[in-house]
Amino acid sequence: MTGLPTFKRVVEDFTCGFCGTSVKGKGYTNHCPECLWSSHVDVNPGDRASKCGGLMKPHSVVFTRSNYTITHKCLKCGKTKNVEAAPDDSRDALSARIKPGPIIV
Ligand SMILES: [Zn+2]
Ligand SMILES: [Zn+2]
């Protein structure tokens, strides 16, 4: 016990609700690197505060500056969320969904 404030970084493994891939959690990534589907578990990234739990579809992908941004849409409640792609996300899956134009929030 050091008495220092602890920053809670949630690292957890999960099984993709769409394709069944076992995903090694890194603390920030909450989507599947193979199919890019996610689950609606966060209000803010990593907080696991959402009660929804619906599957989030990778609705579209745009390439901004130096990274891909994935727009997820929850199948259950319809909420959309933009997340940055992780370095180990499937480039094939990303480029298959890429759309030109600005991000629509
Ligand atoms: Zn998957
Ligand atoms: Zn939802």
Domain-embedded: residue 3 = no
Domain-embedded: residue 46 = yes
Residue 70 to residue 5: CA distance in whole angstroms: 32
Domain-embedded: residue 53 = yes
Give the ligand with the smallest distance to the CA of 38: 1
Ion ligand 1: residue ranges with CB closer than 5 A: 16, 18-19, 21, 32, 34-35
55 alpha carbon to ligand 2 midpoint, in Å?
Answer: 7
Per DSSP, helices labelled H in the chain are 91-97
24 alpha carbon to ligand 2 midpoint, in Å?
Answer: 22
| 50-101 tens-digit pLDDT | 999 999 999 999 988 788 999 999 999 999 999 899 888 999 999 999 876 5
Domain-embedded: residue 49 = yes
| 5-30 tens-digit pLDDT | 665 566 678 899 999 999 887 766 77
**Number of domains comprising the chain:** 1
Give the ligand with the smallest distance to the CA of 36: 1
Residue 93 to residue 39: CA distance in whole angstroms: 17
Domain-embedded: residue 87 = yes
Domain-embedded: residue 80 = yes
6 alpha carbon to ligand 2 midpoint, in Å?
Answer: 29
Residue 9, burial from CB neighbour count under 10 angstroms (0-12, 13-18, 19+): exposed
* Domain span holding position 21: 14-97
| 26-53 tens-digit pLDDT | 766 779 999 999 999 888 877 889 999 9
Read off the DSSP letter of residue 98. B
Domain-embedded: residue 61 = yes
pTM above 0.85, yes or no: no
pLDDT of residue 105: 56
Domain-embedded: residue 23 = yes
